[in-house]
Amino acid sequence: MFLPVVLIDNQRVRLKNTIEASFTFKIANTGRLSDIFPTGICRTFVFMEKLKTLSYWAVRLIAAVIMLQTLYFKFTGSAESVFIFTEVGMEPWGRIGVGVFELIASILLLVNLTAWMGAVLALGLMGGAIMMHLTILGLEVQDDGGQLFFYALIVAACSMVVLLYNKTRIVEFVKKLSGK
């Protein structure tokens, strides 16, 4: 796939998410997209960027809200929560510990710079929850209709979207850690 190349002050800048083509454009000193593309296409670029940003915030909020709303049940020791963690042999330390990690993951998800870290933590937690449902608890716990399992799947999917969105930030972080 060839991505169009734009020259801004004689520097090459690749445009992502555009039509497959190989073009070179010279933008006027303003550097506006409307100098090279028709107005309708510029509006489409702006709309797509806004949609991408809104979607990114939506998946982060969905994951954080689901995890935050379950904290009440974990921290107050509700009967269902105690039952679940007793079944998997992690009561009470596992219930409280998972609750603390879910709180941390939710906070990290809501901060722009650390959203990917929250997504990693949330994905790990939900991976554990999904495995417990598949191996020990079953999909349905105390006649909940599979609601908790479904919530774990939603949070895991939202976390994966956040990780995909932040893949360059994650790669940069790993390079810094490895010293490259």
pLDDT tens, position by position, 1-36:
444 444 444 444 455 544 433 344 444 445 555 555
CA distance 68 to 104: 10
pLDDT value of position 154: 98
Distance CA 16, CA 104 (A): 33
16, 63: one domain: no
H or E stretch including 171?
Answer: helix 167-178
pLDDT at 179: 85
Are 123 and 145 in a shared domain? yes
Q: Give the whole-angstrom CA distance, residue 144 versus residue 80.
A: 10
List the one residue out of 154, 146, 97, 95 whose CA is nearest residue 123.
154
Q: What is the pLDDT of residue 39?
A: 58
The confidence score (pLDDT) of residue 36 equals: 56
Both 15 and 87 in one domain: the answer is no
Q: Taking CA 60 as the corner, what is the angle to CA 135 and CA 106, rounded to the nearest 5 degrees?
A: 70
Looking at residue 27, what is its pLDDT? 45
Q: CA 152 to CA 149: how far, in whole Å? A: 5
Mean pLDDT of the chain, nearest integer:
83
Whether 117 and 141 map to the same domain: the answer is yes
Q: Average of pLDDT values for 99-103? A: 97
Across residues 82-86, what is the average pLDDT?
95
Shared domain check, 159 and 96: yes
Task: Give the tens place of pLDDT for each residue, 112-164.
Answer: 999 999 999 999 999 999 999 999 999 999 999 999 999 999 999 999 999 99
- Domain match, 23 and 69 both: no
Q: Indicate if 87 and 136 belong to the same structural domain.
A: yes
Eight-class DSSP state of 133: I
Domain that holds residue 20: 5-37
CA 80 to chain centroid: 28
Q: Give the pLDDT of residue 35.
A: 55
| Contact present, 122 and 105 (Cβ < 8 Å) | yes
Select from 63, 132, 76 the least CA-distant residue to 104: 63
Whether residue 169 sits in one domain with residue 113: yes
Residues 171 and 116 in one domain: yes
Are residues 49 and 33 part of one domain? no
Q: Are residues 62 and 137 in the same domain?
A: yes
Q: Number of folded domains in the chain?
A: 2
pLDDT of 58 strictly over 70? yes
Report how far Cα 111 is from the mean position of its chain's Cα atoms.
12
